[in-house]
Structures are given as structure tokens and as C-alpha cells.
Amino acid sequence: MAASEIFIQATETDPDVIAGRAVREAHDRLLSGLAELTTVQPVAQELVDFCLHEVRRYLVTADRDLYAPASDDDETRLLVVALRIGTAALNTQIDELAAAGPVDAARLGVMIAATLDTHLQIEESVLLPALAGLPSVDPSLLASDVRAYLAGEQLEEPTVIDVRRIARGGRHPRVFARYARLAPGGSFILVNSHDPKPLRNEFEARYRDTFSWDYLQAGPEEWRVRIGKVAVDA
């Protein structure tokens, strides 16, 4: 088999590539939907519904799956702040669209399409490459969650993660990905066949005083730890 064929096969099965493809598929669906609906004159209710439901559902998905894992990393924190500012601006425009008359709705529809296009380009060209190097990102989980969005499924976050069922090499990324999505004050339970001290050391190095670690069961055959995100007082 030629080296180029091996490279193509490896690329096609690379989790980061698969995750990126899923995100781009979501982007394409949003932009094509807006492009089609903004050409309809006068502006139809379908455009308002698309923005209120489809666009906003993606923005929530992106914040949970793309922004949250990058929000605690020094190299991507400011990028996430900028993207969340962009999300807030899009939500404001969508609110204005929902309350607008036909003339203003047409103008706002074009503005939303242009703002979203720029927003998604930043996700693809800057954020996605940065996510590939973060320990808090599990690309396989990211891909499955984005595909759940594409399928219109409601995603439920697990309250218990049994790492014994996860292949070695994917356990710590899965735990960090779940922690990244926690709201302040939230927690989940880790189940393992041994004391997860190496994982705790990683949490100490990465999150220091922003996480909690409470043993619920300490062997001899099963360990259960409640891992939480410390709520910061306003």
C-alpha cells in the first residue's frame, strides 16, 4: 500500500478530523438554511423560526462542546471570551428579528447571516485547531455530540462516568471533557477499578482550587469519586 493511501486512511479515521467534519457539517447547514430563507421576500416566518430554534440550538451546542473545554486554557481563554461576545450579539439580533416588521426583518436576516458566517469561520480556522491539543477535549465525544445536534436529539450529560467501560487512552480526556461542561457548583461521579490518583494529580496541575474531589467509596474492588466544579462567589 502506498504511503499516500496509508495517510488518507489514517486521516479518515482520525478523531480530530471526524470531529471537525461534524462541526463543518453543522456550519454548512446553518449557513445554507439562512442563505435560502433570506432570499424570500417578504421575509417569511420560517426565517424567524430558523433563527429562534436552529441557530440558537447550535449556539448552545457550540458553547457546551467547543467553548467550555477551551475556556480554562490560557492559550484559548480570550478566544472563547470573544466568541461568547459574538454569541451574545447574535442572540440580540435574533431577538430584534423576532420583534421586527417585514422591512427591518429583511435587513436583520442579512445581518444575522453575515455575523454568523464570520463567527463560524473563526470556530473553524482558529478554535478547532486549538481544541485538538487540549486535554479537556475528547474528539470522539465532540463528534457524537455534534451529530446528536444534527439529528435533533436532546443531549443528556451523564451524572456517572464508569471509566472501566472506556478504552485506555480515552479515559482522562472523557473525564476532563465532562468537567469542562459542568456549571459552577455542578458535579459528576467517577467510577474506577483502582484509586484514580494520577487523574487527581492532573486535576491539581490544571485546575488547582477550582475543583472538588470527594471519595464516596474507596475499594477494594471499586472506587467512586464525586468530582465537582467549585462555585465562585460573585
- pLDDT, one tens digit per residue, over 100-114 is 887 788 889 999 999
Q: Which residue has the higher pLDDT, 179 or 231?
A: 179
- pLDDT, one tens digit per residue, over 73-93 is 888 889 999 999 999 999 999
DSSP state of 18: H
pTM: 0.76
Contact 148, 48 (CB under 8 A): no
Grid coordinates standing for 197? 490518583
Dihedral (Cα; 204, 208, 209, 211), 10-degree rounding: -50
* Helix H or strand E encompassing 216: strand 211-218
Q: Are strands 211-218 and 223-229 parallel, antiparallel or unpaired?
A: antiparallel
For cell 424567524, the residue is 48
Q: Which residue has the higher pLDDT, 6 or 111?
A: 111
Query: Residue 71: which residues within 8 A CB-CB, separation 6 or more?
Result: 77, 80, 180
Q: Which pLDDT band, with edges at 50, 70 and 90, does 96 fall under?
A: very high
Where do the domains of the chain lie, and which CATH numbers do they carry? 3-150 (no CATH), 160-229 (3.30.110.40)
Query: Residue 127: which residues within 8 A CB-CB, separation 6 or more?
Result: 66, 67, 70, 76, 79, 80, 83
For cell 436576516, the residue is 109
Q: pLDDT averaged over the chain? A: 86
